[in-house]
Amino acid sequence: WFFVIQELIEAMKEVEHQKEYELYLREKFNSADISGTGFLNLNEFSLLLKQINIFLEEEDTVQVFNDVDADNTTLINEGEFLKFYHRVLSRPMLFDVFESISKKYKGLAITSWELHKFLTEVQKNESITIEECDNIIKDYEIKDTEKMEIKHLYLSWKGFQRFCMSSSLFHVRKSEMDQIVYQDMTRPLCDYFINTSHNTYLIGNQITSDSSIDGYIRALTGGCRCVELDCWDGPDGDPIIYHGWTLTSKLLVKDVLMDAIKPYSFLKSPYPVILSIENHCSPEQQDRMAEHMINIL
């Protein structure tokens, strides 16, 4: 009975929030209903998906349409569309995360201290304070219309869902996924998103700041698999790295290879490192750069 009451309370609190975005969805539904019949055909449904930023291949759109069309009329009404949208929002993984965070009220609510522990230790947001966690709970819990003193702050399952789907602070991940490579890593390189650094050598602005080998070390130890080398002709026939035609300081290519690329490339990851070379060197210094790469790497 406790769980039934809890669900009833959450449902009552959710009504106001539900009305807000369902009103938005109804507006989108009506705008997609070009024929004005109160129903959407396949083409109108496809248009509606794009309006709410759901982009599918044509065959997938047909499959979804047929799944949503519960009464097999080849038309979708507003109720069917809303049910579909709520199903899209369902993310079972989130409840696993919620349950793992909630220790005091297991699977029911998260306290401010539990939220703080999760954001600092799991999400690695080390600067967030307990007061900010209090404010997060206040922001993402539905408020009663009557003003009343709040003695105990806690984040419910529905409030946690709202936080996850709208806050830039939250990036959903399971801690065990940080430790284990669970993706298929046998695909061609072009099949992957690659953690990439731009102007890796700069530690400040692009006009007057210093260039530093530390920039490469930080990028590589932070998980970057692609770093940038802007290479120009240097003194004594040795190519240099800097932001060309600016006042940024200069690094020797051989020093970057010796002190950063070679020792740090595979400390955090065994996967390939891409050297993105913006080449402005003469043929002679390109040959010298190639020699450094062969001899050092």
Active centre residues (catalytic): 198, 243
Question: How many CA atoms does the CB half-sphere of 77 hold within 13 Å?
Answer: 5
| The two three-digit tokens of residue 112, written as one number | 């401010």
- The closest alpha carbon to 198, from 219, 223, 173, belongs to 219
Q: How far is Cα 66 from Cα 43, in angstroms, rounded to an integer?
A: 13
Distance, CA of 171 to chain centre:
6
d(CA 249, CA 202): 9
Strand locations in the chain, DSSP E? Answer: 39-40, 76-77, 109-111, 154-156, 226-232, 240-241, 251-252, 274-279
Torsion of CA 164, 86, 106, 176, to 10 degrees: -50
156: left (phi over 0), alpha (psi -120 to 50) or beta: beta
Residue in 154, 146, 79 with CA at minimum distance from that of residue 115: 154
Distances (CA, A) of 290 to 201, 230, 242, 297: 20, 15, 18, 10
Q: Return phi, psi of residue 261, to 5°.
A: -60, -50
- End-to-end, the C-alpha distance of the chain in Å comes to 67
Angle at 161 between CA 160 and CA 162, to 5 degrees: 90
Contact call for residues 78 and 101 (beta carbons, < 8 A) = no
